[in-house]
């Protein structure tokens, strides 16, 4: 099984090299990314199994819980394997009601980084991504002040590498004028391909692109957001290559560009093993051409984007997410 992760290939993430199949820990919380998971032992088992299967890139944030996922990672994996890269995200804070407020001031970012270090048990964050605000889609605004603040924390040794999350191509250029980028994290999948050109531009410069919402938030994505004709295309290819639709969705991301990283979420070992097996799925040129047609077949079904977090077609308790997706 380890070979399925290693067969996904490798990519540079700052000064480290990681497998392109990682793990995203966001779902290891309670409802609406608040509080502990329903099955704590299962969450710990998922993290341990991910590393056993060759995962060397785990994505987290103190925003999840808050700090629930960070604490689970530390309990399950500390002392960490030498090759494990933990990527986190700062730039927001959770409200007592479970909401998300931006927290982009220099003092707020320092506090967030220091809290991440404490909860994860690290001397320096491997990669800290600046999470810019905006519901549904990135907001076009300057990131100079907060990114300069993170760059100062890097100079002070609290952070080793910097990235940006939930941003536009213009903001990527703005960030790169301030400090080197290890990665960009953005919404990207079979039917959300706004960043096609950005992916290719970053690939030419050797910068990793993490496909958030590739399958990060539900093991049933992207089927919940696709129209019946789009779903039919995905299922046809899946039958042809003897894989599940979610495995094909991941395999397409890996085939899309050599700099794409995938951080699928899973809340059980069985889910984890299924999605990581996508690293061994081989898509031929005809399969990729057919999958590329999906984006030309229309957008999400009537009613907008899916309400993530409650399983296939389900809603998080208390209603859907603003913008149709979790704000993490």
Active-site residues: which are they? 64
Tokens of 223: 């089927």
Please report which helix (H) or strand (E) contains residue 198, including its range: helix 196-204
Residues 105/67, Cβ–Cβ less than 8 Å: no
Instruction: Tell me the C-alpha distance between 249 and 196, whole Å.
Output: 16
Residue 34 to residues 97, 106, 265, 316, 320, Cα–Cα distance (Å): 9, 25, 16, 11, 15
> Read out DSSP for 287-320?
HHHHHHGGGGG-SSPTT-S--TTSSTT---TTSP
Q: Give dist(CA 188, CA 4) in Å, integer.
A: 22
- C-alpha 24/C-alpha 210 separation (Å) is 11
């Amino acid at each position: 099984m380890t070979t399925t992760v290693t067969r996904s290939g490798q990519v540079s993430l700052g000064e480290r090299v990681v497998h392109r199949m990682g793990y995203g820990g966001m779902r290891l919380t309670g409802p609406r990314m608040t509080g502990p998971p329903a099955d704590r032992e299962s969450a710990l088992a998922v993290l341990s199994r991910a590393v056993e299967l060759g995962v060397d890139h785990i994505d987290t944030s103190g925003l999840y819980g808050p700090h629930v996922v960070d604490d689970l990672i530390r309990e399950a994996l500390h002392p960490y394997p030498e090759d494990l890269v933990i990527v986190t995200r700062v730039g927001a804070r959770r409200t007592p009601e479970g909401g998300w407020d931006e927290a982009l001031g220099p003092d707020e970012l320092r506090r967030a980084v220091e809290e991440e270090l404490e909860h994860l048990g690290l001397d320096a964050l491997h990669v800290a991504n600046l999470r810019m605000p905006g519901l549904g889609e990135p907001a076009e605004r300057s990131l100079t002040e907060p990114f300069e603040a993170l760059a100062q924390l890097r100079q002070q040794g609290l952070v080793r590498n910097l990235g940006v999350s939930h941003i536009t191509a213009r903001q990527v250029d703005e960030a790169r004028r301030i400090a080197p980028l290890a990665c960009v994290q953005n919404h990207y999948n079979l039917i959300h391909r706004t960043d096609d050109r950005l992916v290719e531009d970053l690939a030419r410069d050797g910068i990793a692109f993490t496909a958030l919402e590739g399958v990060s938030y539900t093991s049933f994505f992207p089927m919940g957001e696709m129209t019946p004709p789009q779903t039919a295309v995905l299922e046809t290819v899946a039958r042809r290559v003897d894989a599940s639709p979610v495995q094909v969705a991941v395999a397409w991301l890996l085939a899309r560009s050599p700099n794409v990283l995938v951080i699928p979420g899973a809340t059980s070992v069985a889910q984890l093993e299924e999605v990581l097996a996508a690293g061994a799925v081989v898509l031929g040129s005809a399969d990729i051409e057919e999958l590329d047609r999906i984006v030309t077949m229309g957008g999400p079904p009537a009613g907008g984007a899916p309400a993530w977090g409650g399983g296939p077609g389900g809603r998080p308790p208390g209603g859907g997410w603003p913008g149709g997706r979790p704000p993490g």
